[in-house]
Structure formats: structure tokens, C-alpha cells
Amino acid sequence: QKEVEQDPGPLSVPEGAIVSLNCTYSNSAFQYFMWYRQYSRKGPELLMYTYSSGNKEDGRFTAQVDKSSKYISLFIRDSQPSDSATYLCATGGGSARQLTFGSGTQLTVLP
Amino acid sequence: EAGVAQSPRYKIIEKRQSVAFWCNPISGHATLYWYQQILGQGPKLLIQFQNNGVVDDSQLPKDRFSAERLKGVDSTLKIQPAKLEDSAVYLCASSFSQGENGYTFGSGTRLTVV
């Protein structure tokens, strides 16, 4: 079992749709949770991070963590074509000395 | 703040040849990471440095891969000899401490082994 599992996609939605991206993780000791966005031929860029269960909102983006079920979500409201990218979840902490990444979900927002 | 610099951006080599990648992290970032990202997959850690010491190289194929971070700043990752399955993007990242606030990635070096 991989430490972090992510819905592979690809996902294609119309502009303005609400997008839901999801990951599960296996290590209950993980303490911090992140979402990265990766445009084609670019390195990943940090989008959001959180240390605890609950929701964190930043503009059109909401990150949600449920540590009891080891489930991580990213919601994008009013999606835009510029949101088209690969989204990577990542988690770490506890005895892990570095982040472990999911495999990424490729999102396309159609104008 | 300047970002993480990597070079070259692209490299094409034949199998069994050698190749080296260079990374300059964000100034003041003590921790430096090299990740391998195969097409369609998430980044996989190869090696982590804290200053000029190795923290974790458990997933580095040491028979062909080597890395160093002299003086605790720049880092070089080398592959010798390369195999077809080494074709991937090699990402360098840095963080201020242990990365609990996230990493900053460079744009990566895209390696194609033919």
C-alpha cells in the first residue's frame, strides 16, 4: 500500500464548476498536509498547507483534512481555465523527515 | 527572493553515458532535496541534505546515482551510467527547516535517456 493515494484523473470540468480533489494516506503520525499545483514543464508550487483536521480557506481554494479517516481534500470554487494543472497532495511529519507526495491529478478547466 | 535555480533545463543522453545536474537553493535554506518525477507520477525523494550532511538517501540507487552538497549551499546530482528508466524530471527543492511549511521547488531538469 502506498503511503499516499490520490485519485489519478484526468479530470475535465467546465469553467465555473466546483472541483473536488482527494487523497488518502496511511500513516496516522503524519501531521502536516499540503497541496501543490504543477503547471506543465514547471516545478510544483505550494498552494496550501495545514497542520490539523478541519478546513482552511484561501480565496477560491479550500483544503480539508479529516485525520480520523486519513482523508485530504482540495476544493476549487468557480474554477478558471488558468486552474488547469496537475494537483499534488503531500503529507509528512511524525518520524517522516520529508514530504511524501501523491501521484497527482491532472485537471483541465474548459472555457 | 530568488527561487531555486536548476540547470540544465533539458538533457538528452545515450544509455550508459553520465550526466550531472546542478541546483542552487534559496539563500538561507538549510535543507535541500532531490526528487525524481517520472511522467504521470508524483515526485519521489532521492536524497535530503541538511546543510552539507546527508539526512536521508535510502531511496537513492547508489550503484549509479551520487549527490553532494559541498559547503552546504549548491548541490550536484550525478548519474553514471544512465539507464533508459532514468528518463524523468529531476526536481531540486529547498526549505528553511524540516519543510513543515512546505518546500520551494525549482523548475527541474528533464532527462531523456535514449
* Closest partner CB to A102 (pick from B42, B45, B102): B42
Q: Do A98 and B99 touch (CB under 8 A)?
A: yes
Residue B52 predicted with pLDDT over 90: no
Size of interface A-B (CB pairs under 8 A): 58
Mutation target among A97, A100, A103 for the B interface, most CBs of B within 10 A: A97
CA-wise closest residue to A34 among A74, A70, A5, A2: A74
Nearest-neighbour CA in chain B from A46: distance (Å)? 7
How high is the mean pLDDT of chain A? 92
Distance CA A27, CA A93 (A): 10
Residue B110 has φ and ψ, to the nearest 5°, of -90, 115
Residue A1 predicted with pLDDT over 80: no
Say if CB B80 and CB B98 are below 8 A apart: no
- Residues in B closer than 8 angstroms to A31, CB to CB, are 100
What residues contact B45, with CB distance under 8 A and at least 6 apart?
A: A98, A99, A100, B33, B34, B35, B56, B59
Residue B55 has φ and ψ, to the nearest 5°, of -90, -40
**The pLDDT value given to residue B2:** 76
**The pLDDT value given to residue A22:** 96
Name the interface residues of B facing A (CB cutoff 8 Å): 4, 33, 35, 40-45, 48, 55-56, 91, 93, 98-108, 110
pLDDT tens across B85-114, in order? 999 999 999 998 777 778 999 999 999 999
* Closest partner CB to A99 (pick from B99, B108, B110): B99
Predicted confidence band of residue A84 (pLDDT cuts 50, 70, 90): very high
Residue A64 predicted with pLDDT over 90: yes
Q: What percentage of chain A carries pLDDT values higher than 90?
A: 76
* Closest partner CB to A49 (pick from B102, B104, B110): B102
**The pLDDT value given to residue A76:** 98
